Amino acid sequence: MKLDQPHFIDGKWVAGQGECRMPVHNASTEEVMAELVSASTSQTEQAIVAARRAFDSWSQTPVEARCALIDKVVAGLKARTDDMALTIANEVGMPLKMANMIQVGGPIFNWSNAAKVARAFEWEETVGNSLVVREAIGVVSCITPWNFPLNQITLKVAPALAAGCTVILKPSEIAPLNAILLTEIIEAAGFPPGVFNLVHGTGPEVGELMVSHPAVDMVSFTGSTRAGRRIGELAAQTIKRVALELGGKSASLVLPDADLEAAIKGTVNACMLNSGQTCSAHTRLLLPQDQYEAAKPLIAQAIRKLTLGPSLDENTRLGPLVSATQRDRVLAMIEKGLAEGGELIVGGPERPAFEKGYFVQPTAIRVQPQHTLAREEIFGPVLVVLTYQDEEEAIRIANNTPYGLGGGVWSRDEDHAVAVARKIRTGQVDINGAPFNARAPFGGYKQSGNGRENGVYGFEEFLEYKALQFKPKDKAA
């Protein structure tokens, strides 16, 4: 891995010339795995200029030729799955077996599906006397997070490249090593210089230039709502398209007739995936008031089954958080929830018995709708439990948040569950624990962002419309 030259600009690996030195920590051991030097402002601009220069040729490259290169990326990821999974397990803390299936398996599917979508896409249609064509939007700045690092890169870069856009990628400085591995695979696939560029750095030093630069046509960002607001402000100065996938506070609403044990087990798993570091995690469990006492032992039992440990331990079901900062923030949130009067069901703020690693006990707390933990994103292994008196109150609680990304409804009557799901203001709702669908649109309402990822819906984010008008032909006399 090219740690001494971690930036890939205009087809060449280069050393960083920026002011920041960025250590990358192993989440389970706290050891420094690597240290990268950030890109300078000049290098970031070089990457943008390279992408701009490469766009005309790349956007006119036949779709099949673009997709053939993406096919090579798929093959490269398959060949390096073990290396990639190990890297992400160490960077992020997800248990290795799960990292292999989710953190790498998902991106392999999504790279492949981007090519499949592009090949099947209807690029032109006739509407009256117009030919409506779809064209690549242009140069895209992709800024990605650390929690599912490779997949969030993939959901931006793969469809952008398939659509004919050129790309500058800035991965999270907390988990950047997987991006270097991916870039090695992209380089080996043979993309032309400038089509894909990789720069590392902080938001203020690198990210803000990528967002505000007039040569950039679109920004695709996944991260915090706070950062999303800043990106929207900067991008508005040059009127560029912005796709934002931000925070979440998703509700899992258990209706009175639901299978309570199945609903609790499914909700706990949907909350605790990746140690709760999932934007769409089902972090609020909404229960009928009269079922709460019966639910408490089931919640505790489901959470205690999640064996906490280092990411490379084969017995681990729940790994550490990604960083000391994240761990301390989550612990502070747990303490705040208890200080506000929350009822501890299981877990708590006490540190687990590990000498090293950013560990937090998986925790469940009953809170009230006005409490901080009922409204603010925690982004850790914490399930908050709320109770309701009737269905109307349940829907009101589910919608009582500035976010709207994911959620779930549980009922033995599927039609009833669907009717309730339609009333929840959120981008995705799982009915009775249904699995994630990587072809369905993923994105949020309200402060969870705008735009969609996955499948054809994510692909179309990177396209513009153009209408070519023709004079109607004279009818024969």
pLDDT for 14-26, tens place per residue?
A: 999 999 999 999 9
Residues 188 and 44 in one domain: yes
Domain that holds residue 72: 7-246+445-466
* Closest alpha carbon to 95 in 246, 298, 331, 310: 310
| Domain CATH number, residue 409 | 3.40.309.10
Digit-coded pLDDT (tens) for 450-474 = 999 999 999 999 999 999 999 987 6
Span between the terminal Cα atoms of the chain, in Å: 73
Q: How many CB atoms lie within 10 A of CB 312?
A: 17
Q: Which of 245, 377, 453, 461 is catalytic?
A: 245
- What is the identity of the amino acid at 384? V
Domains: count for the chain: 2
pLDDT the model gives residue 477:
45
Contact 246, 447 (CB under 8 A): yes
Cα(386)–Cα(407) distance, integer angstroms: 14
Residues 65 and 101 in one domain: yes
Q: Looking at residues 88-95, what average pLDDT do you find?
A: 98
Q: Which of 184, 279, 377, 453 is catalytic?
A: 279
Digit-coded pLDDT (tens) for 376-409 = 999 999 999 999 999 999 999 999 999 999 999 9
Q: Max Cα separation, the chain?
A: 91
Active-site residue flag, 122: no
Which pair of tokens denotes residue 234? 């900067």
pLDDT the model gives residue 222:
97
Residues 102 and 235 in one domain: yes
| Residue 476 reports pLDDT greater than 80 | no
Residues 27 and 141 in one domain: yes
What letter does residue 308 receive in the DSSP assignment?
A: B
* Closest alpha carbon to 346 in 357, 334, 333, 332: 334
Residue 440 lies in a domain: no
Kindly indicate the confidence band of residue 79, based on its pLDDT and cuts at 50, 70 and 90: very high
Residue 377 lies in a domain: yes
| Domain CATH number, residue 192 | 3.40.605.10
Digit-coded pLDDT (tens) for 127-159 = 999 999 999 999 999 999 999 999 999 999 999
Length of the chain as a residue count: 477
Active-site residue flag, 279: yes
Contact partners, residue 209, CB within 8 Å, separation at least 6: 41, 44, 45, 48
Residues 191 and 261 in one domain: no
pTM of structure: 0.96
